[in-house]
Amino acid sequence: MSESSMLEIFEEKIKREIKIEPREWMPDAYRKTLVRQISQHAHSEIVGMLPEANWIKRAPTMRRKVALLAKVQDEAGHGLYLYSAAETLGTSRKTMIDDLLSGKAKYSSIFNYPTITWADIGAVGWLVDGAAIMNQVMLCRTSYGPYARAMVRICKEESFHQRQGYEIMLTLAQGSQEQKAMAQDALNRWWWPSLMMFGPSDKESKHSAQSMAWKIKRKSNDELRQNFVDATVPQARLIGLSIPDPDLKWNEERGAYDFGDIDWEEFWNVVKGNGPCNKQRLDDRNKAHEEGHWVREAALAFAEKQAKRKAKKDKVA
């Protein structure tokens, strides 16, 4: 079949909402975009464990500790689903991990901010997972089958993440003066970086239009950001916290909140590696990888020995 007729079939499928599956023909650029996006998404899940793991041992109660532990374990699972989805496109796990460890691959910049108080764990669950959910719910309808299926599984698991975070914020907001101040301080620090999670504005986003045409993305960055603001502002009010944005205002005509300008300079600065924790995150990942080296080696040696033994036994029998 000629390339142009394969392209026609591909485009027809996209148009008719038929998922693209691993071994089917797809344009190179579609494949490349997916590998980049899915592996970045996987890296974000993995690096995203670090700021939260920071508090597992210091969680204030057993209830909080088991919940946080389960959440962080889920994030590891999300990373694994996504790496597997990316591998169906022909890349290897090793290539992706190497790119993460060398700093060549990107992950969500939000994880380059520190979690300095317990309230930050509340803010991360509520806002960061909340923003991630907005994006991931949309991606359940993405055009590439394995990515969409991974997203459905992830979305099912995410809702407890956000609820446990919001519950932490609620508890602090109803607590002592200090606890309430701690919750407000966490919201102040995480609000703007959370809005940046949706990426550059539509005017600036270089990949957006093509991704929308291929139905990899189903909503634009600005649309998702607006949805997030509209969903989150009432949640903050409900627990008596205020959003750190003097320009935030309900717009009757649009039926949505107007909000202030995002500091894109800060955004690009963190993307380029100059955020508060970029170096620490990469160092921690590299250290974990190196320390796991002997485990990987031993497991493989053991597997080879077992296989040899089994082959010998089969021969005798």
Partner 1 sequence: MNENKDWPLWEIFIRSRAGLNHKHVGSLHAADEDMAIENARDVYTRRNEGISIWVVESKYITASNPEDEESLFDPADNKIYRHPTFYDLPDEVKHM
Applying CB under 8 A, the residues found at the interface with partner 1 are 1, 21, 23-25, 70, 73-74, 77, 80-81, 84-85, 87, 92-94, 146, 149-150, 153, 157, 293, 296-297, 299-303, 306-307
Partner from Fe ion, partner 1, none contacting 301, C-beta within 5 to 8 A by type: partner 1
The single-letter code of the amino acid at 155 is C
Partner from Fe ion, partner 1, none contacting 161, C-beta within 5 to 8 A by type: Fe ion
Which range touches Fe ion (CB under 5 A), out of 13-21, 74-82, 186-194, 230-238? 74-82
Is there a contact between 97 and 103 (Cβ–Cβ < 8 Å)?
A: no
Long-range own/partner contacts, residues 158-161 (CB < 8 A, 24 or more apart): 158/74, 158/129, 158/132, 158/133, 159/133, 160/67, 160/70, 160/71, 161/71, 161/74, 161/125, 161/129
Nearer to partner 1, 21 or 263 (CB): 21
CB of 195 to Fe ion, least distance (A): 18
Nearer to partner 1, 8 or 297 (CB): 297
Distance between alpha carbon 208 and the CA centroid of its chain, in Å? 18
Q: Detail the DSSP E strand segments found in the chain.
A: 249-251, 256-258
Partner from partner 1, Fe ion, none contacting 217, C-beta within 5 to 8 A by type: none
Quick one: tokens of 191?
């609000």
CB of 86 to partner 1, least distance (A): 11
Partner from partner 1, Fe ion, none contacting 222, C-beta within 5 to 8 A by type: none
Backbone angles phi, psi at 50, to 5 degrees: -65, -50
Quick one: tokens of 281?
């995150």
Q: Interface with Fe ion includes 78 (CB under 5 A)?
A: yes
Q: In angstroms, rounded to a whole number, what is the distance separating the alpha carbons of residues 161 and 149?
A: 19
Which range touches Fe ion (CB under 5 A), out of 108-116, 156-164, 233-241, 287-295? 156-164
Q: Interface with Fe ion includes 129 (CB under 5 A)?
A: yes
Backbone angles phi, psi at 202, to 5 degrees: -55, -35
According to CB under 5 A, which one of 161, 217, 219, 281 is a site residue for Fe ion?
Answer: 161
Q: Interface with Fe ion includes 245 (CB under 5 A)?
A: no
The β-bridge relationship of strands 249-251 and 256-258 is antiparallel
Q: How many CA atoms does the CB half-sphere of 89 hold within 13 Å?
A: 26
Partner from Fe ion, partner 1, none contacting 102, C-beta within 5 to 8 A by type: none
Which range touches Fe ion (CB under 5 A), out of 78-86, 231-239, 243-251, 257-265? 78-86
Chain residues in the site for Fe ion (CB under 5 A): 45, 75, 78, 129, 158, 161
